[in-house]
Amino acid sequence: MPVQLSVVIPTYRRPELLRRCLDALTEQDLAADRFEVVVVDDGSGDATSEVLAGAGGNVNAITQPANAGPAAARNRGIQAARGELVLFLDDDVVAAPDLLSTHLALHDAAGDPTLGILGRVDWHPSISPTPFMRWLDRSGLQFAYDTWLREGPVDPPYAAFYTANLSVPRELLIAEGGFDERFPYAAFEDMELAFRLTKRGFRMDYRPQARAFHTRAMALPDFSARMTKVGESAELMRQAAPEFPLDDSELRGQDVGRVELLRRRLGARGGDDAALARYYWAAVGRAYAAGRRRVRTSR
């Protein structure tokens, strides 16, 4: 039987997380000859090569000579994929045993070559969510699963085009030219592609029964560092797609000075949810603003 689905995973210097991701894909209820796993090692230069060397027979490992970012890595994976359907996963995500069969069944039932299926990503059961992680879920800054998303059509599709657990017909990706490789980080490169796809008539359904799990806990310092990159990518988005309706007014409104940030940090020590939220918003807003300034001052 020909390969029906290609799982495309970009990875960079997270060998143990990648190992867990690949292990979960060996436990799928879908027959191994119906899918392949295309892993693009984005110039890691570490133990990632050893993990891939020990991977199963349906893993196609591709190594980039130098780190070029997830957009470029995913494009390599798309080009190498043999399946009609591409399922994007992140290397810090593990699939539920029926993830692949669920994506295939949903596409088969819809019979629509313009449809993408967005699955859900929850914290792995082995992870105890911290107050910050619970706030992050409510904020919508990482995913909108617990805010505005509802099962069914996502309108517009680019508002929740999350490549942590998302399947798209390969032909659509090829026709649109894949991801814009000017984006160096995992931020806005997915939305930019989805924006172009939407102009071609692409649509997307959110189906939470297609489940996967984040295996990496998130702390405020790590997420703030990510938000600096998101700020940079937001400015790149304005250059790459000036017509994209990028509304970051809420984040920009959270950019406070050092004294105010310290005041909110001290106020959050009591653990009050409202005080914690004010501090978290200020911290990520300040990081986002730093990223935007970095791009603007480098022009």
The full DSSP string for 8-66 is EEEESS-HHHHHHHHHHHTT-SS-GGGEEEEEEE-S--STHHHHHHTS-TTEEEEE-SS
State the total domains in the chain. Answer: 2
Tell me the C-alpha to C-alpha distance, in Å, between residue 298 and each of 188, 189, 203, 251. 19, 20, 36, 22
Last residue of a domain, which of 165, 188, 214?
Answer: 214
232 and 143 part of one domain? no
What is the C-alpha to C-alpha distance for residues 294 and 277, in angstroms, rounded to an integer? 26
Please indicate, yes or no, whether residues 206 and 277 belong to a single structural domain of this protein: no
If asked whether residues 105 and 162 sit together in one domain, one would say yes
Tokens of 104: 């295939």
Closest C-alpha among 84, 94, 67 to residue 11? 67
Q: Any idea what the CATH number is for the domain that residue 30 is in?
A: 3.90.550.10
- For residue 114, give the DSSP letter: T
Residue 106: its pLDDT value, please?
Answer: 98
In total, the chain counts a number of residues equal to 299
Per-residue pLDDT in tens (0 to 9) along the chain, 299 residues: 789 999 999 999 999 999 999 999 999 999 999 999 999 999 999 999 999 999 988 999 999 999 999 999 999 999 999 999 999 999 999 999 999 999 999 999 999 999 999 999 999 999 999 999 999 999 999 999 999 999 999 999 999 999 999 999 999 999 999 999 999 999 999 999 999 999 999 999 999 999 999 999 999 999 999 999 999 999 999 999 999 999 999 999 999 999 999 999 999 998 899 999 999 999 999 999 999 998 877 76
The last residue of one of the domains, among 182, 214, 246, is 214
Report which residue type is found at 109: A
Contact present, 189 and 75 (Cβ < 8 Å)? no
**Claim to verify: residue 123 and residue 187 sit in the same structural domain:** yes
Query: Which amino acid is residue 59, in one-letter code?
Result: V
Domain shared by 207 and 239, yes or no: no
Angle, alpha carbons 147-231-148 (nearest 5°): 10
Are 230 and 184 in the same domain?
Answer: no
Model pLDDT, residue 56: 80
- Judge if 82 and 157 occupy the same domain: yes
Domain residues for 260? 220-298
Residue 114 and residue 199 share a domain: yes
Report which secondary-structure segment, H or E, holds 238: helix 220-240
Phi-psi region of 123 (alpha: psi -120 to 50; beta: other; left: phi over 0): beta
> In this structure, are 204 and 275 located in the same domain?
no
Same domain, 107 and 160: yes
Q: What is the pLDDT of residue 297?
A: 78
Q: What is the three-class DSSP state of 223?
A: helix
Last residue in a domain, options 191, 214, 237: 214
Examine the domain organization and report whether 151 and 86 are in the same domain: yes
